[in-house]
Amino acid sequence: MAEIFNKNIAPDSFLNFAFTLEKLADTRRIDEKILILKNYLLSCQNDPHLYLILRFLSGEYVQFLEVRKISVGSQLLGRSASDYLKIDYDLVFRPCRKAMGRTPETIARLIENIETVWDKTAYKNYSISQTWNLLIEFSNCEKRQEKQILLDNVWMSMSPVEIRFFLQLLSGKLSTGLPNELLLNAIVDTFNFELEYLRKTYQQTGSLSETFILAKDGIQPETLIDTASNSTTIYSVLLYIQTESRGNVGVYSELTIGIRVDQDDRFDQDYIPIGKITGGISDNNLEKLNQLLPELTLEKFGTTLMLKPEIVVEIEFEKLVKNNRTKAGYTIKTPRIVNFHWDKPPLSTHNLEYIIDFFQKNGR
């Protein structure tokens, strides 16, 4: 079956991306992973959608797409694939799933080895941007039947290796095993950017893909607006936690904090991201956070935990930037944790209107 897909692999194709992810998954040494990544980035350095690749690699796509809304569970995937393959879900698929360990790998392996479905293949050779649009289609589906139609299209139009990693993207569980700091180093080596500039830009934007866009264009991040001379404090909620590694519970490299928008008709969520914080958690708060995480975790996307918006965090910051690439339209910069308020209700936190009013009064 491989010869059907391995002809003329375009650098900007999702197939090329999937093969790279497969190499990364099969490689244990960090230096070898970085070399694989650098070679891949070089192969698609002229792709105008390279920022989407970085969005996938860094895991940022989870927040852009709100993966929890896609809601394609393992059972739906398994039953859909079983129908397509004409195998019994309980007698064939479930035992294979138990042996393989994960649904994406199971489906990919079955499609690769059941020759009777090969004639149904209508390979489309998706580009990275087309794959992104397909993920958006899934996120816009409200009915199970609509998702089923899209899944049937995936089974027919993608190669097994693409299916494996597309399903990981779909579930929000794609992981390269490389922290963002090493991704930054790979970008520096590939495109000859200055590391300190890239780090500074990433610290300000909080986004690897946005950092790349700014660095490639040779411009500084959006101008930071000085607020009042004294720092400002807001109450926010904790939305996401980025852990250092899958097995290193209790070590958090990044916290995403959110602002309340429950009274704003423009949004269908109650809270949206407003900034990111690195470190600064006291030992007492860390212990309490570890105790609450199991019951507050809604989803786990690789090393990222999406939480119920119930933990109130008091944040101090001195800079505010208007950022049209975020849902809020603004991002607070260089935030610091003042304290966790475990007994404070989330509805008592500041809302987006307060942030906008603050920006208008203090921006210059």
- What are the domain boundaries of the chain? 2-171, 180-216, 231-362
Paired with 313 in beta bridges are: 236, 340
Please list the residues that pair with 259 across neighbouring strands.
Answer: 272
The pLDDT score that the predictor gives to residue 154 is 93
Residues in the chain: 364
Pairwise CA distance, residues 220 & 212, whole Å: 11
What was the pLDDT predicted at 204?
67
Task: Say if residues 252 and 241 touch (Cβ distance below 8 Å).
Answer: yes
Q: Tell me the CATH architecture of domain 231-362.
A: Beta Barrel (2.40)
- Token pair 């991704």: residue: 183
Pick from 130, 87, 71, 81: nearest CA to 102: 81
| Per-residue confidence (pLDDT) for residue 308, from 0 to 100 | 92
pLDDT value, residue 58: 83
Would residue 274 be called left, alpha or beta, if left means φ above 0 and alpha means ψ between -120 and 50 degrees? Answer: alpha
Helix ranges, 90-245 (H): 94-100, 103-113, 128-140, 144-157, 160-171, 180-191, 195-205, 208-216
Distance CA 308, CA 237 (A): 9
- What local confidence, expressed as pLDDT, does residue 362 receive? 59
Tokens of 52: 């989407």
**In a 3-state reduction of DSSP, which class is residue 111?**
helix
3-class secondary structure per residue, 124-164: CCCEHHHHHHHHHHHHHCCCHHHHHHHHHHHHHHCCHHHHH
Structure tokens at 340: 């966790």
pTM above 0.75, yes or no: no
Question: How far is it, in rounded angstroms, from Cα 303 to Cα 10?
Answer: 30
Which helix (H) or strand (E) segment is 305 a member of?
Answer: strand 304-307
Phi-psi region at 236: left, alpha or beta (left = phi > 0; alpha = psi -120 to 50): beta
CA–CA gap between residue 319 and residue 330 (Å, rounded): 11
Residue pair 320/362 in contact by the 8 Å Cβ criterion: yes
- Measure the CA–CA gap between 274 and 260, rounded to whole angstroms: 10
User: What pLDDT sits at residue 239?
Assistant: 93
Query: 235-273 burial, b if ≥16 CB within 10 A, otherwise e?
Result: bbbbbbbbbeeeeeeeebbbbbbbbbbeeeeeeeeebbb
- Please tell us whether the domain made up of 2-171 is placed in CATH 3.10.25.10: no
CA angle 242, 244, 246 (to 5 degrees): 90
Q: What is the secondary structure of 30-92 as a DSSP string?
A: HHHHHHHHHHHHHHTTT-TTHHHHHHHHHTTHHHHHTGGGT---HHHHHHHHHHHHT--IIII
> What amino acid is encoded at 16 in this protein?
N
Q: Which residues contact 157 (CB under 8 A, 6 or more apart)?
A: 121, 122, 123, 124, 126
Q: In a structure prediction context, what are the per-residue pLDDT tens digits for the chain, which is 364 residues long? A: 544 445 557 888 999 999 999 998 888 888 888 899 999 998 888 877 888 898 888 887 776 666 555 667 888 899 999 999 999 999 999 999 999 888 999 999 999 998 888 777 778 889 998 998 898 888 888 788 888 899 999 999 999 999 999 998 888 778 777 777 788 888 888 888 888 888 777 766 667 887 887 787 666 554 434 444 456 788 899 999 887 544 444 567 678 999 888 877 788 888 999 888 876 777 788 888 888 888 999 988 877 889 999 999 988 887 777 777 788 888 887 788 888 988 888 887 888 887 777 666 655 3
Please provide residue 279's backbone torsions phi and psi, each rounded to the nearest 5 degrees. Answer: 70, -165
